[in-house]
Structure 1
Amino acid sequence: MMTVSTEPGDASHLSTSRDRAELALPSSFVRFRKGEPLYRTGEGAEALFSIVSGVVKSYTMLPDGAQHIIVFSFADDLVGSVQNGTHLNSAEALTAVTAYRMPMVAINAQIRSDPDLQFHLISQLSHELHQAQAHAFLLSRQRAITRIGLFLRMLEAHQGTARGSLQEIYMPMKRSDIGAYAGISLEAVGRSFQTLVNRGAIAIRDRRYVQIINRALFEAAIFEKKGGHSGAAGR
Structure 2
Amino acid sequence: MKHATGPAIHSVHPWDPGNPEKGIRHQLLSEDESAKLAKIAQIVRFAKGQEIYAKDTPAQAAFNIIDGVVVASDAEHVISFLYSGDLFGLSEEGRYANTTKAATPVTAYKMPMAAVRRILASNADIDVNLIIKLCEELRQAQRHAVLLAQKKAATKLAMFLGLQEHLQAARGEPTSEIHLEMDRSSIAAYLGITLEALSRAFRSLTSKKLISFRGRQHITVLDRDAFNQMQG
TM-score by length of 2: 0.82
Give the 4+ runs in structure 1 shifted more than 6 A: 12-15
Residue deviations 1:167-217, cap 9 Å, x none? 111111221111100001111111111111111111111211111122112
After superposition, the Cα gap between the structure-2 partners of 1:29 and 1:182, relative to the gap in structure 1 and judged at 3 Å, is: same
After superposition, the Cα gap between the structure-2 partners of 1:87 and 1:13, relative to the gap in structure 1 and judged at 3 Å, is: closer
Residue deviations 1:41-75, cap 9 Å, x none? 111111111111100000011xxxxx210000011
Q: Aligned pair 1:24/2:24, yes or no?
A: no
CA-based RMSD: 2.3
Match of 1:34 among 45, 48, 60: 48
AA partner of residue 22 (structure 1): S
Residue 219 of structure 1: how far off its partner (Å): 2.3
- The corresponding residue for 1:150 is 159
- The corresponding residue for 2:84 is 75
Residue 161 of structure 1: how far off its partner (Å): 7.7
The 8 Å contact of residues 47 and 106 in structure 2, kept in 1 or not, is answered as yes
Residue deviations 1:68-110, cap 9 Å, x none? 1000001111111410000011000000111111211111111
Q: Aligned pair 1:60/2:74, yes or no?
A: yes
Match of 1:170 among 179, 184, 205: 179
After superposition, the Cα gap between the structure-2 partners of 1:99 and 1:68, relative to the gap in structure 1 and judged at 3 Å, is: same
Distance across 1 between alignment mates of 2:178 and 2:72: 21
Give structure 1 stretches of 5+ with no counterpart: 1-8, 62-66, 224-235
Residue 222 of structure 1: how far off its partner (Å): 4.3
TM-score by length of 1: 0.81
- The corresponding residue for 2:15 is none
SS at match of 2:79: strand
Match of 2:138 among 129, 138, 162: 129
Give structure 2 stretches of 5+ with no counterpart: 9-25
Name the count of aligned residue pairs: 208
AA partner of residue 203 (structure 1): S
